[in-house]
A and B are shown apart, each in its own frame.
Chain A
Amino acid sequence: MLPLVRAHLPLLLVGGSFLLLSATHCMGTEDPPSDPSKDGGGGSKPTGDATAPQCSLDFECNALPPSTCASSSELAYFTNPRCVRSICEWTRETRSCPCFNGQCSITTTAGGTIGTGGAGGASSPADASNDHATIDPPEGGVCDVDADADGGDCPLPPSVCVDTSWLAYFVEPACSAGRCEWQVLYRKCITYCAGGKCMTNITL
């Protein structure tokens, strides 16, 4: 047995190292916590607790915890995913709004609508399907309804990663009732999504 191991030692070493790496990956990826609201606090601060998933790279934390209602008038949501000492951390932000079921309940002149993002933005992304997470469009801000019809007054927001696989990007800017709106489309990244981009493989 020993001569056999000695004869094939380099292959065994490379294979063993690869298996070790695989084992580390298997142990290092878990689902994000379902309710991180117990991190408490308000405003903007880093969060991460014992139930947070383990990680080794920032993009592994891109699956943000769901927003929650800190109170009936305050929404708590999470941004800035990062990996700190092998544990995922996010920044907990708050905003004042009538909050219900983890969402801001906004009433506009056009009628009631619910969304975490606020008044601006179009709803129902055209190509959203059930096999990936979706986002609400960001708050649009005020625009001039008399400007060009092509939405020139409403610059497109930067793309965002919905999770580690899906990129959300914005098209068809429009000024509707004095607020900017966009349509959200989704694209599955070939490799992974990080920093609002579909990443390519790095090759040093």
Chain B
Amino acid sequence: MPSPLHAAASPSVDPSLRHLAWARIALGVLFLVRTTPLCELLHFPFETSVWPLLGWPEEGWAGHGWLHLSGALAAGVCVVRTAAAACFLVGWRTRVAGLAAGAAGYVSMLQNPFGAAFTLHLLFQGAMLLAMTDAGCVLAWRPERPVAPRSSVLLVRCFLASIYFWAGIAKLRPDWLDGRTLALFQADGAFHGWASRAVLSTAMSRAGCATAVAIIELALPVLLLWPRAQRFGLMLAFGLHAAIELAARPDLLGWEMAALLLALWPARADEAVGIERRAYSHESDVSGHPMKP
């Protein structure tokens, strides 16, 4: 019996399923890193209270969250979230696990009025999104039956395009475009020293960088959705996140986007032929016409 790794690499497997599985595995790892003490173990500075798990009830002032659960219940939600994320990662009942991990993540997040970071939103929404796709059909402990691989990829594509679109729209304001926001981030020490010295040293360079980011984010939805530009759009998106990651330390958001972008990885030329054949066979099956060899 071939291993899941070999099975997923087989030419008979739709590459979309493999790419969706990559996204699931990458996002699952990030989920566990960001919500468990692994975050502290790896010395990521984003979260200071992940012991024993993110959102674990603590004594003392915590503010008024959107939702208030008793300590035991809140702790239980954290445990469920982590267990579900682990199942999602290994591909055991992926659909249920991903939805449960995301939902439990939201419940635990709503306990803390200051805990609703974009990074966590994307993490939980991403897990729920992939759970609704065919991301658990290969590279999985218990592979599920594929339902609609191409539609699954389209769903992820639209989700990512919407994130870039709204991020770009939100930056169409003077205090972002003239670089003031970047200057404030810079004053708070959010950028690495080299970026502050080399790229963000003057008001003009900050304005240039800010405008470039806004333009790229507004262009990415078009590039990701337009079939002829998808490959370029994908590279541009990876490049944007790599550049931001090198210049600053924006939590794990860039990595989460990269994980989801893996689902959009283009099929190789030889795989693309297989996709066409499978699509044709499927259409022939549905219409009742004989299949071509």
Contact = CB atoms under 8 A, between A and B. Distances in A.
Interface string B111-130: 01011011100000000000
B45 A26 contact: no
Interface of B: 5-6, 8-9, 18-19, 22, 25-26, 29, 42-49, 60-61, 112, 114-115, 117-119, 167, 185, 187-193, 213, 244-245, 248-251, 253, 255, 258-259, 262, 265
B117 A189 contact: no
Interface in A105-130: 127
Contact of A201 (B19, B22, B118, B213): B118
A11 B250 CA distance: 21
Given A4-B5, A7-B8, A8-B9, A202 B48 contact: no
Interface string A16-33: 001001100110110000
Nearest to A7: B9
B43 A57 contact: no
Q: Is the interface of A mostly helix, strand, loop or mixed?
A: mixed
> How many residues of A sit at the interface, in one of the four size bands?
35 or more
A95 interface: no
B192 A22 contact: no
Contacts of B213: 204
Given A14-B258, A57-B190, A127-B60, A190 B112 contact: yes
24 contacts: A7-B9, A10-B19, A10-B22, A10-B262, A14-B255, A22-B44, A26-B43, A28-B43, A29-B45, A56-B192, A83-B189, A85-B193, A86-B193, A127-B60, A188-B49, A190-B49, A191-B45, A191-B46, A194-B188, A198-B114, A201-B251, A201-B253, A202-B190, A203-B119
A82 interface: yes
**Those 6 A-B pairs whose CB atoms lie nearest each other, nearest first:** A58-B189, A7-B9, A25-B43, A201-B251, A11-B22, A165-B48
Contacts of B244: 204
Contacts of B115: 190
Nearest to B45: A192
A59 interface: yes
B187 A202 contact: no
A152 interface: no
Given A14-B26, A164-B45, A202-B185, A190 B9 contact: no
A3 to B, nearest CB: 7
A46 interface: no
A165 B192 CA distance: 19
A203 B22 contact: no
A163 B138 CA distance: 46
A7 B15 CA distance: 9
A179 interface: no
Interface of A: 3-4, 7-8, 10-11, 14-15, 18, 21-22, 25-26, 28-29, 56-60, 82-86, 127, 164-165, 187-192, 194-195, 197-204
A58 B196 CA distance: 11
Given A22-B44, A57-B189, A204-B213, 11 more contacts: A8-B22, A11-B26, A14-B26, A25-B45, A56-B249, A59-B188, A83-B189, A187-B61, A190-B112, A201-B119, A203-B119
B42 A25 contact: yes
A7 B18 contact: yes
A14 B265 CA distance: 12
B198 to A, nearest CB: 13
Contacts of A195: 187-189
A57 B190 CA distance: 7
A202 B192 contact: no
Given A21-B245, A200-B117, A204-B213, A10 B259 contact: no
A40 to B, nearest CB: 25
Contacts of A188: 48-49
Nearest to A190: B114
B262 A56 contact: no
A7 B22 CA distance: 11
Nearest to A27: B43
A148 B6 CA distance: 78
Nearest to A129: B60
Nearest to A56: B192
Contacts of B46: 191-192, 201
Contacts of B44: 22, 25
A15 B30 CA distance: 10
